[in-house]
Structure 1
Amino acid sequence: MSPETPQLYLITPPAIDLELFPNILARVLDAHDVACLRLSLATRDEDAILRAGDALRELAHARDIPLVISDHVLMVERLGLDGVHLSEGNLRIRKLREELGADAIIGAYCGTSRHDGLNAGEAGADYVSFGPVGHTALGDGQLVERDVFEWWSEVIELPVVAEGALSRDVVEAIAPITDFFAFGEEIWSTDDPALTLSDLTATLR
């Protein structure tokens, strides 16, 4: 991929089977040039998060891929992760930067709000993500308008991530105006995630 081509960012399923998922993930990571991996589990069970974090950290770091975790800030240091992705707003970013240090990755999901994205950037986020970009039954049905990405790419230097119900057509349409595409259930819900990711990103090559 050329330097102008958006990079790939993967989001884990909300529940993973540690007997199966690490091997599936490894095949995807070996087949694609992935820039970042996000551990995003629905469970709040500490032991389950720790075991998943240990397994995925080994896979990611062996391939020089940073691993961030959704919201569980205290797990960053315990698991030796690279940072945290905040799924709700940016109220804690300044404090987290002080706690985690300058080298930690801090990302913020900002929904469809350009204003929230600007606030996150000013507070010290390393990237912001907007979504959903495709039609989904989740949430309130509101999609990120294309002009949010257009404006961001023209005015703001902070990297931006497009996520949520990505399709091949959406990827092709937004590719010129985003820095990353974050794929999750779009690939994990299929029989061959590596092949599905190839198909979804075919227009990037």
Structure 2
Amino acid sequence: MTDAANRCRLVLVTPDNADPGELGAIVADALRGGDVASVIIPQHGLDDKSFQKRCEALIPVVQSAGAAALVAGDTRVAGRVRADGLHLEAGSEAMAEAIARHAPALIVGGGNARERHAALAIGESQPDYVIFGSVSGDIKPEPHPKNLALAEWWADLIEIPCVLMGGTSIAFVEAMAATGAEFIAFGQAVFAEPSEAPRIVAEINAVLDEKAPRFAS
């Protein structure tokens, strides 16, 4: 297998599942499908107590597979469950505050910037990554064209890594990687049919191995 470290890598976004143990098993199966850089765990409307239970079930699974476990949004839960990082879909001020409080002990990134000026403002605080697209925005098969354009612009000019959020189909993996983004993210495309998740992760990695541009060492 091609070394994944020198090309675009996969990020997973966990689905909403009421049973933490069942969700843990689904994510564990997906991670057996191949290389995954990190797993983002959204709150999906849960109260803090339920969200913490979900994170407590998922984080050991993610970390044991060698991926980084990123809690979305709730800084208190992220600290309690020993997450690797914090994913924020917030503006530049909230990002700067989170970085000041939690980095470098935690990975801190996100943003969901929708235009260049906002992306650059978020980048000023030096997050670990910037994401183009929302982790809950995979509502169409294809990634949003604006996010593709932003990722290509960012990857060409800025050293801070970026994540490009995909849609509900993995048919666009090659086009997403062609932007030069360091990471591409999928949620529903991988988890809509949980039994298929390992195969889909393997298929994404096979496309990235064969088609993704290689980064300079």
Q: Do the aligned partners of 1:82 and 1:105 also contact (CA within 8 Å) in 2?
A: yes
**Which structure 2 residues correspond to residues 1-205 of structure 1 after superposition, within 5 A?**
1-2=2-3, 3-131=5-133, 136=139, 143-144=145-146, 146-165=148-167, 167-176=169-178, 177-190=180-193, 191-205=195-209
TM-score (ref. length: structure 1): 0.87
How far is the alpha carbon of 1:145 from its aligned partner? 5.0
1:47-88 CA deviation, whole Å, 9 max, x = no partner?
A: 211111111111122223211111111112111112211123
1:96-116 CA deviation, whole Å, 9 max, x = no partner?
A: 122213231111232432222
When structure 1 is superposed on structure 2, of 76-85 and 112-121 the one drifting more is 112-121
Alpha-carbon distance between aligned partners in 1 of 2:191 and 2:154, rounded to the nearest angstrom: 29
Q: Do the aligned partners of 2:126 and 2:160 also contact (CA within 8 Å) in 1?
A: no
Q: Do the aligned partners of 2:86 and 2:108 also contact (CA within 8 Å) in 1?
A: yes
1:9-55 CA deviation, whole Å, 9 max, x = no partner?
A: 11111334223221111111122111111111212312211111111
Unaligned runs of 5+ in 1: none
Structure 2 counterpart of 1:94, one-letter code: A
Alpha-carbon distance between aligned partners in 1 of 2:185 and 2:163, rounded to the nearest angstrom: 7
RMSD after superposition: 2.4
Number of residue pairs matched?
202
Q: Do the aligned partners of 2:43 and 2:73 also contact (CA within 8 Å) in 1?
A: no
Structure 2 counterpart of 1:62, one-letter code: S
Unaligned runs of 5+ in 2: 210-217
